[in-house]
Structure 1
């Protein structure tokens, strides 16, 4: 069964406090002692994709930009077909995935001039003397503005000189390319041509601030409309030099200014050369953590971000992804590779063009790339912090970018397939979870019209003239398998879910059965009342028999400031609850209540209801 809708649930536990002699905090009580969480998301949000290209626009990038342009049609086709290759019959090696229906593409360059964040107080022409290319736009460079013009080979990338071109598919008064869900084949062809065009950039400031440019485009209000709340974001950085995002513009100085702590360039190898400035004076660069955090925060949900870099790493098969169990291990191996050592290149000794020994492409200045250590360190930081940001790093010196773009599409596909919940839900005695799924219908569609898809025929609400329908929850007994019928169910038991949620500690998700999937144009609201599961036996601890709730009355009295407390397994919720015979036994103003009518009473929040 192919599931066409995904969402993420965030549940927050409520810790109550009560004034008493001991002033001890009270733990979460029963399922009523939590915050109900409402996640309102569009249907199939992962069918929308925003791709941000960060294209190094230095003159040395001509060959690399041409290799990228050759792969653009295949990249777009793979995304729009869900992994079917250009012959429309061969699935991508990683398998099919939900095809992208709406695609935004934004192109920026790392040219931020000599600007810094926060803004510096130095004066160009007085405190430092940057190159002319770094002085444009008042020293702000392209300032993270998305580009809609570029350069393209005039004869199908045959090597003829590139010519100026302008994109035809940006929406009016915007700076990004937009491929809508209802695009025609003619439009798609123009869209691909536009991406090829705008990824051709040149004449930028020679000091590239690739990582800061990613954050600058997010700050730039002129790019409004590109990043959508309901879309996956893929950042694809392509550069042959390491990042030089700085806090001090004097690092860009081109004259031997005695008052500048950052030397160069000079005419002998005794002093630091111009091309070695960012490496030698790394203390003037922004901290890596700034970009680990900043990239993860580009979306409210970091799992909806992919960070990919085609940069200076050795083109060595020993570093291929399949040779490593984790991304962290691979990035450690890349950084430890001898080719990533930052040392001056002896081939340029005693010259003002002194530069670092290349990480790849050695022996030729055409296609050579400096070690992209800072870029790899950001990817490593994202992987190590369990931020859920997908990461890819591939070599810019590869003969073509087919492998690199396939790796990027694979990681995008992983995010498109993510249907997983970050934590477990508790089933009740009927194999249900304490959650509800509601669907807001398109204008003119009623719940009765949607009843054949597992919706209750009577609307439960109305939002701006659109009917809101409750979707049937089906019992999910792991021993019985996928339930029959139309609706949704909690799946923590199928191999399909285990495979899809391989990245999660808990392999579970909410799934719709065949025929019950939300339709395009609807919106889904997921409401759940669920305790934050404790880390040890306590209120809310999952249970199936009484012994699951064994805990001494002394420890409970210490925790809850009440004597003679005991935990019992509530068969309605399959969780441990504080048993009671009267309100006085319940801490925190909670009431003793027999919810099931079976004579067993538990401490509950008297105001709790699940609508």
Structure 2
């Protein structure tokens, strides 16, 4: 979440979401649709060959050849299909400590809700569940200098190392780093992991020692706070769902034919799924400062901040006299991947062509939800997205202004916040004891992808607040949508 001013590294670079970030290589190769190719291509490019960043070429793999579950499973067309593939994409940047503490506390509830799942008519179900965890870190050149020793961006690949074995990931960088070991240790006192790169369970049949599914998720779920601050949840999601990826191949793949796919995105920042390699230039070159904000200290466009992600991917028009925008929508400027890249795969390939159920939960920078439907799918009915206001930062101490006590003490202004993020906060988190857990940037790109999954008579998207002090309602909404999507037995 947004706290004080952005991290100014040794090279004078201001990073997204004031994160003490890290970086690795650019995103792994993927083009989905009819073919599999370079991440630089559009999703529906249909090229015959791919060219990697090293310049080598190779044959593309046809989608039919890369989606196999080894057994018919739900692909056989059985209307009683009970398979669920659940993907977590978790922001592991420097301001996500409190949110991961919150999420970790709700992992046992999620497992219990899944184990007790019923079909859409209330009949007991023994779900066949895969749970995979990855991060929002695709790597970014601006984060390279801050990458801790031994850390590699997940780039959409499964994270299956127990957090207790990587506890250093829960202490950030800098002279006064954030530290949240309790996000791990509270649920993972001893090392526990599945025998595969993701958790699997169906009744008492699991790939977890001692069948302790709750314990395993509490160990591999928390991701730490050393990831790159240019979060790329949409591209991380797509990389994780790449049908040609190792974890989606063989006799025990994560992504299974016909299974319900549920994606959970948890982030306090705007999506920054950069279209490499050209998109990176807008973060590194002063000659391409189109989307940079003016630094109030120098009155120049002197640094690339998290505002680049917002300005290059979102259009809000002109604010009114109170600094409020009528609306903000995604745009394709060539810096970030277009949303069609993700919607073509989710809507056209998975839902339309493969007849899969695809649902999404976004725990994002929107105001807390104040009311939910009392029946499945338990979707928000008040607050949340409906209460979201896109606006500029407001000077003054919270709640009259947007500046939190720590920033007031450092004499941080609204202009500095605007320079760092390009938009005012979508929500402010309070801990219930007079303190704050930070602030979050409002979502646009992830929100639009999520909401595009909805149909007139079918809810597939649930958006809850990352500023909420308890994620149990979000878990209820996720499992409620899953329950609502499963056909009745018989």
Give the alignment's TM-score, normalised by structure 2. Answer: 0.60
What secondary structure, in the 3-state scheme, does the structure 2 residue paired with 1:227 have?
Answer: coil
2:82 and 2:128 in contact (8 A); partners too? yes
Corresponding residue for 1:132?
A: 145
**2:86 corresponds to 1:55:** no
Corresponding residue for 1:211?
A: 234
CA distance in 1, matches of 2:475, 2:445: 21
Shift of 1:383: 1.6
Q: Aligned pair in 2 of structure 1 residues 179, 47: CA closer, same or farther (>3 Å)?
A: same
**2:251 corresponds to 1:222:** no
Stretches of structure 1 that go unaligned for 5 or more consecutive residues are 1-38, 84-91, 115-123, 420-510, 513-611
Corresponding residue for 1:578?
A: none
1:146 is aligned, of 139, 158, 161, to 158
Stretches of structure 2 that go unaligned for 5 or more consecutive residues are 1-73, 168-179, 314-332, 396-402, 404-411
String of CA shifts for 1:448-499, please: whole Å, max 9, x gaps. xxxxxxxxxxxxxxxxxxxxxxxxxxxxxxxxxxxxxxxxxxxxxxxxxxxx
Corresponding residue for 1:361?
A: 428
Q: Aligned pair in 2 of structure 1 residues 372, 259: CA closer, same or farther (>3 Å)?
A: closer
Shift of 1:176: 1.1
1:110 and 1:208 in contact (8 A); partners too? yes
CA distance in 2, matches of 1:265, 1:99: 56
2:193 and 2:220 in contact (8 A); partners too? no
Shift of 1:71: 1.3
Corresponding residue for 1:231?
A: 259
Corresponding residue for 2:138?
A: 112
CA distance in 2, matches of 1:147, 1:166: 17
2:429 and 2:468 in contact (8 A); partners too? no
Shift of 1:255: 5.5
1:236 and 1:308 in contact (8 A); partners too? yes
Q: Aligned pair in 2 of structure 1 residues 53, 229: CA closer, same or farther (>3 Å)?
A: same
Corresponding residue for 1:88?
A: none
Corresponding residue for 1:197?
A: 219
1:152 and 1:196 in contact (8 A); partners too? no
**2:180 corresponds to 1:176:** no
2:372 and 2:380 in contact (8 A); partners too? no
CA distance in 2, matches of 1:329, 1:289: 26
1:57 and 1:110 in contact (8 A); partners too? yes
CA distance in 1, matches of 2:184, 2:150: 25
CA distance in 1, matches of 2:288, 2:75: 57
Q: Aligned pair in 2 of structure 1 residues 160, 221: CA closer, same or farther (>3 Å)?
A: closer
1:81 is aligned, of 116, 122, 126, to 116
| Equivalent residues in 2 for 1:445-456, closer than 5 Å | none
What secondary structure, in the 3-state scheme, does the structure 1 residue paired with 2:359 have?
Answer: strand
Corresponding residue for 2:473?
A: 403
CA distance in 1, matches of 2:479, 2:273: 27
| Equivalent residues in 2 for 1:377-392, closer than 5 Å | 377-384=448-455, 390-392=460-462
Corresponding residue for 1:340?
A: 389
Corresponding residue for 1:277?
A: 308
| Equivalent residues in 2 for 1:505-584, closer than 5 Å | 512=490
2:378 and 2:481 in contact (8 A); partners too? no
2:143 and 2:229 in contact (8 A); partners too? no
Q: Aligned pair in 2 of structure 1 residues 336, 393: CA closer, same or farther (>3 Å)?
A: closer
What secondary structure, in the 3-state scheme, does the structure 2 residue paired with 1:291 have?
Answer: helix
2:208 and 2:216 in contact (8 A); partners too? no
Q: Aligned pair in 2 of structure 1 residues 401, 223: CA closer, same or farther (>3 Å)?
A: same
Q: Aligned pair in 2 of structure 1 residues 167, 389: CA closer, same or farther (>3 Å)?
A: farther
CA distance in 2, matches of 1:269, 1:322: 49
CA distance in 2, matches of 1:235, 1:196: 18
1:82 and 1:98 in contact (8 A); partners too? yes
2:429 and 2:469 in contact (8 A); partners too? no
Shift of 1:413: 0.2
Q: Over alpha carbons, which structure has the higher Rg?
A: 1
What secondary structure, in the 3-state scheme, does the structure 1 residue paired with 2:264 have?
Answer: strand
String of CA shifts for 1:432-452, please: whole Å, max 9, x gaps. xxxxxxxxxxxxxxxxxxxxx
| Equivalent residues in 2 for 1:82-101, closer than 5 Å | 82=117, 96-101=122-127
What secondary structure, in the 3-state scheme, does the structure 2 residue paired with 1:100 have?
Answer: coil
1:113 and 1:133 in contact (8 A); partners too? no
String of CA shifts for 1:527-549, please: whole Å, max 9, x gaps. xxxxxxxxxxxxxxxxxxxxxxx
Corresponding residue for 2:51?
A: none
String of CA shifts for 1:123-170, please: whole Å, max 9, x gaps. x6xxxx5543579999x932211110243699xxx9747458897453
Shift of 1:289: 3.1
Shift of 1:82: 2.2
1:108 and 1:217 in contact (8 A); partners too? yes
1:327 and 1:383 in contact (8 A); partners too? no
Q: Aligned pair in 2 of structure 1 residues 287, 130: CA closer, same or farther (>3 Å)?
A: same
CA distance in 2, matches of 1:185, 1:275: 40
Corresponding residue for 2:366?
A: 313
Q: Aligned pair in 2 of structure 1 residues 359, 40: CA closer, same or farther (>3 Å)?
A: closer
Corresponding residue for 1:504?
A: none
**2:294 corresponds to 1:258:** no
CA distance in 2, matches of 1:42, 1:278: 42
Higher relative contact order (CA 8 A, sep 6+): 2
Supply the RMSD in Å over aligned alpha carbons. 4.2
Q: Aligned pair in 2 of structure 1 residues 161, 314: CA closer, same or farther (>3 Å)?
A: closer
Q: Aligned pair in 2 of structure 1 residues 276, 336: CA closer, same or farther (>3 Å)?
A: farther
CA distance in 1, matches of 2:157, 2:207: 29
Shift of 1:80: 1.0
CA distance in 1, matches of 2:462, 2:311: 27
CA distance in 1, matches of 2:206, 2:378: 38
